[in-house]
Amino acid sequence: MSAPSHLQQRSGRVAAAILILFALIYGYFGATVEYSFSSDPIGPRGFPVALAIALALFGAFYLIRPGEAEAWPERDGRNAALFFLGLAVLCVIGMDHIGFIPAMAILMVGIARLFGATWLLALVSGVAQALLWWALFGPVLGGNLPKGPLGF
């Protein structure tokens, strides 16, 4: 196995720094969880703080000794990844305002289009998947999903 290139090491270190930053933020919020005295011995803070410590340690190890990493994607790949990330964030933020089913349908249609589906196939599969996820997480598992102004 060959040694990682300079570019691979740099991208690995960027990923490690992001992981450490996420671990610090997650650990801070995990440590500030409020709970009653009668909670279990570890309390609800134990797991998030332990996970944050583990993430920070793994991130520090990877920062010091980055291994091989995938090359940065070409322009089309980066654009697709950024489109997906932006669409996912918008759908999660908008879910309370437009409802679970429409938000999931928009997300699923966008993903289908990213993978090359026609508009018709993307719409049919997006709506079908939104209804499937609603049925699974709503009635079957008893989740409380946002209804939006149309009531679904």
Indicate whether this model's pTM tops 0.85: no
The rounded distance, in Å, linking the Cα atoms of 19 and 25 is 10
Structural tokens at position 118: 């026609």
CA distance 117 to 73: 21
Which pLDDT band holds residue 152 (cuts at 50, 70, 90)? low
- How far is 1 from 33, CA to CA, in rounded Å? 45
pLDDT in tens, 14-54: 888 999 999 999 999 888 877 666 555 566 778 888 999 99
pLDDT in tens, 60-92: 998 888 777 666 778 888 899 899 999 999 999
The DSSP symbol for 70 reads P
CA dist 39 and 46 (Å) reads 12
